[in-house]
């Protein structure tokens, strides 16, 4: 009897991709995906440690599953991902009904481990070496790579795919746990990336997103040539079938002129640039161990908008970092105003034991102040997002039509426009090259032919996070 599995995923794109790969490999081994935990025999949590809140949520969910496991003793509970690598056997102590703890560098063993737990009912802990636990080459090797054939049934839609071009991170920003849980930075060989993207193109994928913690640090040397991110762009440009190339996340100092020119000149590369800056204050950036100043980041923005006039830049911010004063925070507000970001992800600082910031600084900004700063920054950003989106009204954009809109109903409320009568038309959603969501109506009988195509549309309305448009006949 094949077992049913359910994967719950939190965290960044790395985890989203890992969950897709894990699901595909479990399906290959004969397991069936189900749509809710209650139908599953194997429940897997793909976890994130970047903030305390993300961990607390998983532990409380695990707590709730105790009763479920008592009633279903043959069920298997697995904790994968960054929290598995970080907390190791502590997870078994805090949640004794967990069967498997599997680090992100051990993913390829997943089906075999689930099978063995099914048979032997023994707990399994498989993680990579900690960065201080051995020679760098041993640590690197302990983060095994896993790039299986993609399954079209897995993932948000069959027209887009993420492709990992690098693993790990060596930047060691003082607040960040990622370098310890994802291991040393390693770039994948271009040949492997090319082969994977050719396969994805053969499956009918139109858009690939190259992912890594700092994709613009990509560097791979072979045969006397050193490949950088822009060389990957040029290679993918030649792959028939792929129409769009996206890439996330970028580290500010890696945005060289060569890279910006490649974004401008290589037609398939979309002008969407996610470049987290974290703070607008030099003293905070120094404490964060970011390797640039606010002025350098402003110069970068100037260079971007001068080189790529239609660039859509997005950023991440941490508010309430250790010692952040009102003045320092105000410098961040100023930078958001200057940046004209399409949108920003704003986080309240969360102290991560084991990081430099946890060791060196006091987490001394009260939560109420963090919350206030978060809301204030978000309000400034949302006004800018709305303004930028309004500029699209009347313009024509190309959208990759992904499927039926889930958020359409909500956005309609916001704009106080009537949703279309559902029997005549459906609302579809897609993305522009600059990563804006566009919602539009399509006749019911026609909508299936539109999904999975790149089509022109005219924008008619705008909300801060959504554009509304009409397909051009
Ligand atoms: N590699 C990416 C980001 C990875 S983590 C980069 O450097 O840009 C995603 C975001 O989480 C970070 O950009 C940062 O804004 C936030 N973050 C990381 N550690 C955090 C912490 N300890 N507390 C709050 N936010 C954090
Ligand atoms: Fe974390 Fe900094 Fe690496 Fe991004 S670059 S993953 S914030 S250490
Ligand atoms: Fe979280 Fe791990 Fe990503 S800690 S942000 S899931 S690399």
- 45 neighbors 19 (Cβ within 8 angstroms): no
Cα angle 182-142-169, degrees, rounded to a multiple of 5: 25
Handedness of CA 239, 242, 243, 246 (dihedral sign): negative
What residues contact residue 385 under an 8 Å CB cut-off, 6+ apart?
341, 342, 343, 464, 465
pLDDT at 410: 45
> 347 C-alpha vs ligand 2 centroid, how far in Å?
14
Bridge partners (DSSP) listed for residue 76: 42
Cα angle 387-391-392, degrees, rounded to a multiple of 5: 125
Q: Which of the listed residues 15, 50, 56 should we mutate to test ligand 1's pocket, taking the one with most ligand atoms within 8 A of CB?
A: 50
What residues contact residue 8 under an 8 Å CB cut-off, 6+ apart?
37, 43, 44, 45, 46, 61
Q: How far apart are CA 470 and CA 39, in angstroms?
A: 40
Which-ligand-closest: CA of 316? 1
> 52 C-alpha vs ligand 1 centroid, how far in Å?
12
Whether the CB of 361 sits within 6 Å of ligand 1? no
Q: Measured between alpha carbons, how far is residue 208 from residues 89, 100, 361, 439 in Å?
A: 37, 32, 40, 21
Structure tokens at 298: 């402003």
Q: Which of the listed residues 176, 290, 291, 341 should we mutate to test ligand 1's pocket, taking the one with most ligand atoms within 8 A of CB?
A: 176
Q: Following CA atoms 236, 239, 243, 246 in sequence, which dihedral angle do they give, to the nearest 10 degrees? A: -20
Q: What is the DSSP letter of 52?
A: H
pLDDT at 361: 98
Q: How far apart are CA 363 and CA 386, in angstroms?
A: 33
Per-residue pLDDT for the chain (473 aa), expressed as one digit of tens each? 569 999 999 999 999 999 999 999 999 999 999 999 999 999 999 999 999 999 999 999 999 999 999 999 999 999 999 999 999 999 999 999 999 999 999 999 999 999 999 999 999 999 999 988 889 999 999 999 888 888 888 887 899 999 999 999 999 999 999 999 999 999 999 999 999 999 999 999 999 999 999 999 999 999 999 999 999 999 999 999 999 999 999 999 999 999 999 999 999 999 999 999 999 999 999 999 999 999 999 999 999 999 999 999 999 999 999 999 999 999 999 999 999 999 999 999 999 999 999 999 999 999 999 999 999 999 999 999 999 999 999 999 999 999 988 755 444 444 444 445 555 788 999 999 999 999 999 988 888 899 999 999 999 999 999 999 999 97
φ, ψ for residue 70, nearest 5 deg: -60, -40
Q: How far apart are CA 348 and CA 216, in angstroms?
A: 26
> 422 C-alpha vs ligand 3 centroid, how far in Å?
39
Structure tokens at 355: 């990081």
Q: How far apart are CA 328 and CA 304, in angstroms?
A: 25
CB atoms within 10 A of CB 67: 10
- 65 neighbors 38 (Cβ within 8 angstroms): no
Burial letters 368-381, b for 16+ CB under 10 A, else e = ebbeebbebbbebb
Closest CA to 131 of 87, 85, 194, 97: 85
Structure tokens at 336: 């958001």
CA 180 to chain centre: 18
Q: Which residue puts its alpha carbon closest to atom 3 of ligand 1? A: 213
Q: Which residue puts its alpha carbon closest to atom 1 of ligand 3? A: 48
Q: How far apart are CA 293 and CA 284, in angstroms?
A: 10
Q: How far apart are CA 228 and CA 258, in angstroms?
A: 10
Three-class DSSP category at 166:
strand
């Amino acid at each position: 009897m094949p077992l049913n599995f359910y994967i719950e995923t939190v965290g960044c794109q790395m985890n989203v991709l890992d969950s897709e790969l894990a699901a595909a490999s479990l399906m290959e081994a004969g397991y069936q995906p189900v749509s809710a935990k209650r139908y599953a025999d194997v429940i897997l949590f793909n976890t994130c440690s970047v903030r305390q809140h993300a961990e607390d949520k998983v532990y409380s969910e695990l707590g709730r599953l105790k009763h479920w496991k008592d009633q279903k003793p043959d069920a298997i509970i697995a904790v994968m991902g960054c929290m598995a690598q970080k907390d190791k056997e502590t997870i078994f102590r805090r949640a004794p009904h967990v069967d498997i703890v599997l680090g992100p560098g051990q993913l390829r063993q997943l089906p075999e481990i689930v099978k063995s737990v099914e048979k032997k009912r023994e707990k399994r802990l498989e993680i990579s070496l900690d960065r201080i636990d051995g020679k760098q080459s041993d640590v690197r090797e302990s983060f095994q790579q896993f790039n299986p054939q993609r399954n079209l049934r897995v993932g948000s839609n069959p027209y887009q795919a993420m492709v990992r071009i690098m693993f790990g991170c060596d930047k060691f920003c003082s607040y960040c746990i990622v370098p310890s849980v994802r291991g040393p930075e390693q770039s994948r060989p271009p040949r492997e990336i090319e082969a994977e993207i050719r396969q994805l193109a053969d499956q009918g994928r139109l858009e690939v997103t190259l992912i890594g913690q700092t994709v613009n640090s990509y560097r791979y040397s072979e045969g006397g040539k050193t490949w950088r991110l822009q060389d990957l762009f040029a290679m993918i440009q030649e792959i028939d079938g792929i129409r769009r190339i996206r890439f996330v996340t970028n580290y500010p100092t890696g945005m060289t002129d060569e890279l910006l020119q490649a974004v401008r000149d290589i037609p398939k590369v979309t002008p969407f640039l996610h470049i987290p800056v974290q703070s607008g204050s030099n003293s905070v950036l120094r404490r964060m161990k970011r390797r640039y100043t606010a002025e350098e980041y402003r110069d970068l923005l100037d260079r971007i908008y001068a080189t790529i006039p239609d660039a859509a830049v997005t950023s991440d911010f941490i508010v309430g970092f250790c010692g952040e004063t009102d003045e320092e925070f105000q410098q961040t507000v100023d930078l958001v105003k200057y940046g004209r970001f399409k949108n920003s992800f704003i986080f309240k600082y969360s102290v991560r034991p084991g990081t430099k910031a946890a060791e060196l600084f006091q987490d001394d900004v009260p939560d109420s102040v963090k919350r206030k700063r978060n809301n204030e920054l978000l309000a400034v950003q949302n006004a800018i997002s709305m303004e930028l989106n309004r500029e699209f009204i009347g313009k024509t954009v190309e959208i990759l039509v992904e499927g039926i809109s889930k958020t359409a109903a909500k956005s309609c409320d916001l704009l106080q426009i009537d949703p279309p009568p559902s029997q005549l038309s459906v609302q579809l959603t897609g993305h522009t090259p600059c990563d804006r969501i566009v919602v539009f109506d399509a006749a019911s009988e026609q909508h299936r032919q539109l999904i999975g195509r790149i089509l022109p549309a005219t924008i008619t309305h705008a909300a801060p996070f959504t554009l509304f448009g009409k397909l051009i006949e």
